[in-house]
């Protein structure tokens, strides 16, 4: 008696571009009936009707080592993906996911995502969900500019000022941001099934429709077949540590003290070496620069040195 309803649900979910696995089908059946068939029974029906093909050679999920944040807002993951509309126009979509609950805190369509757009979306999301303690991204220029002479970009400076820890994946290692990468796939699958999306306004409306379903309706396998919204609400939220030091409009450079106890700074095209002390070798530091005035602090907020740079000297010795 269940076969026709299972098959109909499968087709409806696929037509909408949504997950249509056996567990999702069982979830929707449970909303209609008191007693429903087991997941294994639904899977056998789908197999018998030719909807699924067993894959015995797939790597078992137990073999994967996965990182999951312990609390909501402990870590957010963010990334940008490209979406092509029926009109042929391509837009960029910034997606932000809570690592613990998989909750989508933001999905915004833009012509081109820039650093100030990421900052704006961060603050907009925080109005509803609060600020995260850390923020994980890849090394794209909108997120990180440190490989350009070590100077922090606008987004990194904003995180630093808010007391939010900036984290970045290793180059060419997208698995680090795997949760938001997987969300990209789900979004694109959904959008591919929607007709008549030809403008950015229509795209944003469809993104919001999917996020509502994803957060509040669809049970997520990675979190015990619960909804992201319910998992997010179930535990206490983590907050940022608080601003370590005010940037006050100064340039921010993030660096590491080398084995000689020295950090470097380029001033007017000339590289200068600033002594911190061998006791601090390996420390991650923040350097706040205003002209020749420099303040150096550890990332825990501990003051290390203040100085006025002498442009005539390559090495700036400790006082």
pLDDT in tens, 280-306: 999 988 899 999 999 999 877 789 999
Give Cβ neighbours of residue 113 (< 8 Å, ≥ 6 apart).
Answer: 80, 92, 94, 142
Evaluate whether residue 245 is within a structural domain. no
- Whether 295 and 265 map to the same domain: the answer is yes
Cα–chain center distance at 7: 35
Q: Is the pLDDT of residue 54 over 90?
A: no
Evaluate whether residue 66 is within a structural domain. no
Evaluate whether residue 62 is within a structural domain. no
- Whether 23 and 95 map to the same domain: the answer is no
pLDDT number for residue 63: 44
Evaluate whether residue 49 is within a structural domain. yes
- Whether 37 and 150 map to the same domain: the answer is no
Evaluate whether residue 68 is within a structural domain. no
- Whether 91 and 196 map to the same domain: the answer is yes
User: Dihedrals φ, ψ of 9, to 5°?
Assistant: -65, -45
pLDDT number for residue 147: 55
**Mean predicted lDDT score pLDDT of the chain:** 85
Q: Are strands 270-275 and 315-316 parallel, antiparallel or unpaired?
A: parallel
- Whether 173 and 303 map to the same domain: the answer is no
Burial class, 250, CB count within 10 angstroms (exposed 0-12 / middle 13-18 / buried 19+) = middle
Compute the distance between CA of residue 72 and CA of residue 70 in angstroms, rounded to an integer: 7
- Whether 170 and 113 map to the same domain: the answer is yes
- Whether 103 and 222 map to the same domain: the answer is yes
**Residue 275, beta-bridge partner list:** 262
Burial class, 253, CB count within 10 angstroms (exposed 0-12 / middle 13-18 / buried 19+) = buried
Evaluate whether residue 64 is within a structural domain. no
- Whether 145 and 192 map to the same domain: the answer is yes
pLDDT number for residue 153: 74
Evaluate whether residue 229 is within a structural domain. yes
- Whether 81 and 165 map to the same domain: the answer is yes
Q: Is the pLDDT of residue 49 over 70?
A: no
Q: Residue 163 — very low, low, confident or very high, per pLDDT cuts 50/70/90?
A: confident
- Whether 37 and 162 map to the same domain: the answer is no
Task: Considering only residues 141 and 128, tell me which one the structure prediction assigns the higher pLDDT.
Answer: 128
- Is-above-0.75 flag for pTM? no
Q: Is the pLDDT of residue 108 over 60?
A: yes
Range of the domain at 262: 251-316
Please work out, in degrees rounded to the nearest 5, the angle formed at the alpha carbon of residue 25 by the alpha carbons of 22 and 27.
110
**Residue 293, beta-bridge partner list:** 290, 308
pLDDT number for residue 64: 46
Q: Is the pLDDT of residue 198 over 80?
A: yes
- Whether 83 and 222 map to the same domain: the answer is yes
- Whether 229 and 255 map to the same domain: the answer is no
- CA torsion sign for 7, 10, 14, 15 is positive
Evaluate whether residue 246 is within a structural domain. no
Q: How many domains does the chain have?
A: 3
Task: Considering only residues 58 and 170, tell me which one the structure prediction assigns the higher pLDDT.
Answer: 170
Look up the CATH number of the domain holding residue 134. Answer: 3.30.420.10
DSSP string, the chain: --HHHHHHHHHHHHHTT----HHHHHHHHHTT-SS---HHHHHHHHHHTTS----TTSPPGGG------SSTTS-EEEEEEEEE-TTS-EEEEEEEEETTT--EEEEEEESS--HHHHHHHHHHHHHHH---SEEEE-S-TTT--TTTTTB--HHHHHHHHHTPEEEEPPTT-GGGGHHHHHHHHHHHHHHHT-S---SHHHHHHHHHHHHHHHHHTSPBGGGTSB-HHHHHHHSPPP-----SS--TT-EEEEEE--TTSEEEEEETTEEEEEE--GGGTT-EEEEEEETTEEEEEETTS-EEEEEE--TT-SEE---
Q: What is the CB neighbour count within 10 angstroms for residue 225?
A: 14
């Amino acid at each position: 008696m269940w076969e026709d309803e299972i098959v109909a649900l499968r087709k409806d979910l696929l037509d909408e571009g949504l997950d249509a696995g056996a567990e999702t089908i069982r979830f929707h059946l449970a909303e209609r009936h008191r007693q429903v068939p087991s997941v294994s029974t639904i899977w056998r029906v789908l197999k018998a009707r030719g909807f699924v093909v067993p894959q015995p050679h797939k790597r078992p999920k137990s073999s994967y080592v996965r990182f999951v944040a312990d609390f909501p807002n402990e870590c957010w993951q963010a990334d940008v993906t490209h979406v092509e509309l029926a009109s042929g126009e391509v837009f960029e979509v910034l997606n932000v996911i809570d690592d613990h609950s998989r909750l989508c805190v933001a999905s915004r369509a833009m012509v081109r995502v820039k650093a100030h757009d990421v900052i704006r979306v961060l603050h907009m999301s925080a109005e509803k969900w609060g600020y995260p303690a850390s923020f994980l991204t890849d090394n794209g220029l909108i997120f990180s500019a440190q490989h350009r002479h070590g100077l922090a970009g606008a987004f990194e400076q904003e995180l630093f000022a808010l007391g939010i820890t900036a984290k970045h994946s290793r180059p060419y290692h997208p698995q680090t941001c795997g949760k938001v990468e997987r969300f990209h796939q789900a979004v694109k699958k959904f959008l591919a099934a929607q007709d008549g999306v030809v403008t950015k306004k229509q795209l944003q409306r469809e993104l919001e429709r999917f996020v509502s379903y994803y957060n509040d309706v669809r049970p997520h396998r990675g979190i015990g077949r619960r909804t992201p919204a319910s998992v997010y609400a179930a535990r206490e939220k983590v907050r940022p540590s608080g601003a370590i030091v005010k940037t006050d409009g100064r340039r921010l450079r993030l660096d590491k003290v080398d084995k000689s106890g020295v950090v470097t700074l380029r001033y007017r095209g000339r590289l200068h070496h600033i002594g911190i002390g061998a006791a601090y070798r390996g420390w991650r530091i923040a350097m706040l620069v205003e002209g020749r005035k420099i303040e150096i602090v550890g990332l825990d907020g501990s003051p290390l040195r203040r100085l006025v740079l002498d442009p005539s000297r390559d090495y700036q010795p400790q006082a």
